[in-house]
Structure 1
Amino acid sequence: MTYFLTDTLFLTMLNMSITASYVIVFVLAARLFLKRVPKIFSYALWSIVLFRLICPFGFSSPFSLLKAFTSNTAKMGHITGNTDLMMQPSTYTEIGNVSSFISDSLPAAMPNAGVSPVQTTISILSIIWIMGVLTMIIHGIYSYYRLKQKVSTAMLLKDNQFECENIATPFILGIKNPKIYLPVGLSVTEKNFILRHEEIHIKRFDYIIKPLAYFVLCIHWFNPLVWLSFTLMGRDMEMSCDEQVIKELGPELKKDYSKSLLSLATDRMVLGVSPLSFGESAVKGRIKNILNYRKPTLWVIIVGIVLVVALGVGLLSNPSAAVLEDDNEKIRMAEIWATALKTRDGKPRYEMMSENMKEKFITEQKLRAGEDWNFNIGYSSPRVVDFEIQMNGDTASIIYHQEDSGGDKYDRTEILTFGIENNRLVITDARQKIEEWDRWSYFATDAKMALDVYTEALLNSDYLTILSLTHDAAFDPEGQEVWDTVNINDVKVIKADVRENKACYWLELNIKDGGYSAFETGVSPRWLWLVKGEHGWYAEGLMTGGPPMEDWWYSKDPMK
């Protein structure tokens, strides 16, 4: 039971950390656009990260910026708790290379095993995680009490202000009753600046926010982006506080305030639970920010507020249920469609088809099995061994991995199109992409038959038949997709010149839509050149330049 709770907690925390990582990337990018805006806006953005790091739930919104990074609604789940129950465990991070790397690294399930390798791995990782959390917390508590011992001899100045000779930098200590501790030897001017700075920290409850942020860092200690966030949040906190001091005391004191910071940068104290620490690396940026600080104009403030609110809505919310459920339903339907071919049972497919597709399916099955048709589909060879699904909006590409009886392997791609019919999501079209090995060499018994087959293929935009009748034509993997955009209404024969071994038909094509092809809309002339080979008639090509020259009629068949 203890192991189960630990593993569940670990996976929940891991999912939160992954989601927060996406949010951190957004915040880092936003900070670049907020360089000339008061630092309080950058500081406010880190509250979004903090929320995502401690809360596994959120409200749904169609404006969520996290749509691309989730497969669930209300709860951002990337790594599922039932990974160990999968035949081949996998994870979902929406970053293809990352997902593939993690999934490929997971051991396959072992039937009849008492504890799966994945479950064991998760348990080990959860124990390491807890040890890291405890180590960080113990370090924080130890540092806190060590600092408290140093200031135990501090002298009270007034109210909550103390002076201590054992410290080199000023800071605030305490949560319930925060106290300001100053090092000995500060000038009156330096004291005034520092006290005002610390009072602003107390007024904004930074002395609570910083320890809370450290505690969150303890939980997500393994995530480098969280460490980066903790550091940058501290800098934004200090800079925004500096700006507030300058705003209250006046811009003419910027140089004096900067000198006070510089004089305190000689020593350095780093403590996770301390809300304030001065160091040379941080002071350089703070002084530069102070000297460049200008009172923001109204439009700058408006832009900052709008950006923070927009990011808050987009990053605090999860994608709306309707959008995600629709995407998940398409994936589910594509999986059922592909599995149906693997099991050679077309009934599950039939139930998801549009009415037009159902009529087409019945017609095809009757041609295959007669009036007493059934739902059997596919072939025993090549058979479907496995499949992959790739979603792209309202279409799904299914890549079938096939193997024939001789052990040869083939890949075939089928493209599904989804639509709404009678308020129900259905599959409105399913089209297989033509592969080069689909091509065959077609020969007609006479020129008229070759003309009829070619004409019918033009009217039906049948790229495979055109390709099979035109033996020398190069194969185009996207050829059928191009022909799918072509709409030819009619083909008329204007003139025919048929000789013993060759023929030329002058055609007039009534093209309704040329699509992505070289055809232009309207009536267009073409010349179909045919050749009689050893096995029958085939097409040399559909030409645009007119009938052939006289020497063509007497040239030899290149197929012989």
Structure 2
Amino acid sequence: MLGFITSLFEVSLGCSIVIVGLMLLSPMIQKHYGAKWKYWIWLLLALRLLLPFDTPILEGYDIELPKITMIRNSQAQQVSPFNAGQSGMPFQIVDSHIQKTTVNHQTLYTKSEPITIKEVLLYIWVGGMLLYMLYHLMAYRYMRHQVLRWSRPITNGCMLEEIDKVTTHMHITKHIPCYICEKVWTPMMIGFIKPVLLFPKGDYNKTQLHYIMKHEYMHYKRHDVWYKLLLLMVNGLHWFNPLVYIMRQHATKDIELCCDDDVVKGCTFEQRIQYGKTILASISEQQKYPMALCTYFNQGKKMVKDRLGGIINMKKRRNGMVLFGAFGICTLVISGLLTFDHVTAKQMDIDIMPEKKPVATTTDDTATDDTTIEDSHGEVDPVAMDRLTNAVLSNDIRYVKDVIEEGNLDLNIQDSKGRYPLAVTLIMTNCDMAKLLLHAGADPFVTTSDGETIYDQAMATDSKYFIEIFKQYGIHAKSEEVKDNEGGQHYFTTTTKEAVEFYIKALLESNYEAIYAISYGSEYHTDGQDIYDTIQIKSVKLLHGETRGNKAYYSLELDISDGGNSAFETGIFPRWLYLNKGEQGWYAEGLMTSGAPDDTWWESE
């Protein structure tokens, strides 16, 4: 939804440029072209503004995930929502030097995130849109109620005869009730599904009735009231843009001019003069502001000059299809260019990133930040890496595929400007390229020069596609494959902090695959995700933790709003996450219910 706000402003800005251009060129063009070409241009702009989406064009690679496997550990039993009791397995006691580290702190993890500027803009936009639409819809409902309340059926025989004559001539088969109403100042048609034609109280001669009826029924045949509803919806969607208000005013004017053109089509000059006189006679001193969702025979003195000029103009004018095509292309191109303008800016930011040396990662929690290591992949060809990242930037999928198939270049190293190919996909919002690189072994947990991992950056984007892709691949990256009949791939962390944060994040997201991935030695449940889909965890509070050598535990407090089909109960309950460190790194032994571990567990291997 936050990405929608960005697209909304971009499309609104792009279409505003077209609106300004159209208004500037209209006086020069309208002498040679009828109003119909602008009628269709406004419609195209309205549809573009109504659908400000930029759906990514995905080529849809068929990427098979590696089989998820595991090794069963006969001496470990995970305590989870599938088995709520504390493990009671025997432990082997060994003599060893134990390094003890105790952590005392409280950290609350919740599903809610800090409100961003985009979220504030979203709330403001939604509030403004609702107020705008509510005002117009309530005003329309009130007006309809008032005019129908003070209306009476037409009983004048001449008026009824003329109504039948015009409807037959214009092939109007639907019965549209006609009333005399003291609350209206000009003939108008109101209603969408059940339209009603209203006349103000007064005397009309036969000629006036003919042109009034023909004008209003022409609005009905052209579905102009639905066009006005579309314009109102667009104005409500872009209530913050003053040019959209101006667009709706001009479009409403061109709707009337187009209707006049259709009414006088094939008429003589004398008949056009009679039509113009009818418009002048309908001007009322009592005129009010016209409602947005009605058609009017006369919308005010300001429009009379333009309408009369178009009516008496006997010169044959072009239909403007070429102009329509030109402005249509401009609308799509300009709004598209502005949509992707921010990509160029972000790309420039990347290009000037300072080159940084890789930081060493070890399996020891005491590793220092200033330790550096040599690249373990041997000599790096900076030219080849530059070509690869540039291919990602230019969406050259064929070249990236060729590089991957050759296997001569590590996807997890930086080019000469400190860029990772996978990180570049975030800047370009290229989901297909991200899937391709992840499947080929690109590491989403590599830390970029801004201090964040690519995975964290992906989770912070507004793209739900990126979030799902990285969720799918993220838990499998940087992990060791261990296979058995069940299937599963495990994820090991270099520090206990990473392990507990990974586990808590998986709990809040009800992501069973992630919980299983970090729980090395746990039993795999084929219906695990189905069960976790029924669990709702509001928050997880990290109370304290303790680390001794290759073992650690963390005390958690879970606020569970719905235990679903699991062993979890509703309410706030303490849990204890047991961690072990193996050859590959830290992993979770289980989420226990019976409390902190005793000395027997600490002393076991």
TM-score, scaled relative to structure 2: 0.42
The structure with more strand, counted as a fraction of residues: 1
TM-score, scaled relative to structure 1: 0.45
Higher RCO (C-alpha under 8 Å, 6+ residues apart): 2
